[in-house]
Chain A
Amino acid sequence: MSKSTLDDAVAPVERHPWLAWWRQRPNLIRIISVTAFLLWWEYVGRGMNPLFMSYPTAIFKAGWAMTASGELPAALVASMVPFSIGLVLSIVGGIALGILLGQFWLLEYMLDPFLNALYVIPRVALIPLIVLWAGLELTGKVVIVTLVAIFPVIVNTYSGIKDVRGSLMEIGKAYGATEFQNFTKIILPAAVPYIMAGVRLSVGLAIIGIIVAEFFTAMTGLGGIIVVYANNFATAKLFVPIIVIGVLGIALSQIVAAIERNLSRWRVSERDRF
């Protein structure tokens, strides 16, 4: 069944032809909406005290200057290094821990009190301790990012493995799969959509993690710039790293969503079936 016939069947019939015309063009509506917001912001922002509020053209100028001086690229790189290491540790470590907890009951019962305790304590509360143990530099930042971002990967991998349907397991059993084959050929592929959902959440949390880390440890990177310019009331410059973080977040989650769609295609289309 093709997707379009399905949409046609579900989409309600619009009473007015002009409404139907707009309904077909969601991107046009998005562009108009954002442009209108920027114009309104420009107009209102210019009338406000520049200590408290800035406006789009001023922010763009500030961003251009900060890029030309090399300040913004340097900050971006400074943030991306601990961010990437922490994210990779979260994904690899989270999947490994989730698999271990899901496969071995002894480990599960031994470790889940600690994981639950860590999960309910806001990780921000641990930052002074982490700084004490791991320092203000790269190691400390990586530990903060990992602690913030690893949990959804662990939890989702674990539940993905625990939720594998009995009927799928029976296929392996009936055809004489070994324990290892059962794991690699049935349990793990069945858990992939869950794991990818965990990774998507983890990326968002890792971005929060790196900015918080830069606020509370050595002030470097994008988080560092935010603190410095906020303290100096350089509001236009303050907006630049915020916008860069936003763009970065959107780009990363789009990439992960694309990978997720690709790996979970069989599941998405199972959901679309009647």
Chain B
Amino acid sequence: MLKIDRVSKSFNVRPTGKKSAPAPGRMTVLDDINFEVGEGEFVSLLGASGCGKTTLLRIVAGLIRPDLGDVSLADSRIEAPRKDMCMVFQNFGLLPWRSVMDNVAFPLELDGVSRPEREEVAGHYIGIVGLKGFERHYPHELSGGMQQRVGIARALTRKPLVLLMDEPFGALDAQTREALQDDFMQIWKELKTTIVFVTHAIDEAIVLSDRIVVFSARPGRVERIMPSVVAQDRLARDVRARPDFALQVHEIRSLLRQQGNAA
């Protein structure tokens, strides 16, 4: 359904004077990326920081254009942000002056949906993410985990075909992250939306996705695409303790480490 076809992207790097900065000139962040995401599939983009996975997600979202190649959804090319693809941000991306209700209803407000109607829809999704009773709270009154639940509810209000998630649990502590991963899987089980999920956490990619796209860094290339070994069972029980889960974590870790040595 979602097709990433020969996508390449490079940025100009200006001299900054910092020693750690990459050399000035043209830096290729994505080099000839090809893969497809099927309808209802959960695909993770996994790689070290700087491998271009977030850049690819922003290209898929229509926020930036690729230098070469195309991204298309159901055979129509993506050139600007589309209303049937919604984004969940790494730092939650909430508007701090809006209540939970008004943040979740924000996309529908942009669409011109009347207040009672959009509050009904928003209220429904606030309930789904487990924040019933917090409608009138402001983001600063919520914990990080609760703020990201707001971010997820907001992305769901438009009933998108594709949910784009940019390291959504990356800013949370380990326990909150696992709780949110489990709750999110329950939500996904009901909705079965197509998901493109960016992460740098190997275990997170395996626990959540059907397939994992492993990136190599600088320039970003698709190193390997592999199915999650626990994909069949992940909705039913906690799979983190299974031996084949640990094996796959190890496999991906050595894959990523090899590139680290090569670079």
Contact = CB atoms under 8 A, between A and B. Distances in A.
B110 A181 contact: yes
A269 B110 contact: no
Given A176-B81, A176-B83, A176-B110, A171 B89 contact: yes
Contacts of A267: 96-97
A270 B93 CA distance: 15
Contact of A175 (B86, B96, B140, B141): B86
A145 interface: no
Contacts of B82: 176
Q: Which 3 A-B pairs have the closest CB atoms?
A: A174-B87, A266-B97, A266-B96
A186 interface: yes
A148 B227 CA distance: 69
B110 A170 contact: no
Contacts of A185: 95, 106, 109-110
Interface string A35-60: 00000000000000000000000000
A168 B93 CA distance: 7
A266 B136 CA distance: 13
A175 B81 contact: yes
B229 interface: no
A270 B96 contact: yes
Interface residues of B, number: 22
B138 A266 contact: yes
Interface in B69-109: 80-83, 86-87, 89, 91, 93, 95-97, 106-107, 109
Given A175-B81, A185-B109, A266 B140 contact: yes
Interface string A185-196: 110011010000
Given A175-B87, A177-B110, A186 B140 contact: no
Contact of B140 (A167, A174, A177, A269): A269
Nearest to B164: A174
Interface of B: 61, 63, 80-83, 86-87, 89, 91, 93, 95-97, 106-107, 109-110, 138-141
Given A171-B89, A266-B140, 15 more contacts: A170-B63, A171-B106, A174-B86, A174-B87, A175-B81, A175-B87, A176-B81, A176-B82, A185-B95, A185-B109, A189-B97, A266-B97, A267-B96, A269-B138, A270-B96
Contacts of B107: 175
A273 interface: yes
A39 to B, nearest CB: 47
A23 interface: no
A181 B112 CA distance: 11
A173 interface: yes
A9 B82 CA distance: 49
Nearest to A171: B93
Contacts of A167: 89, 91, 93
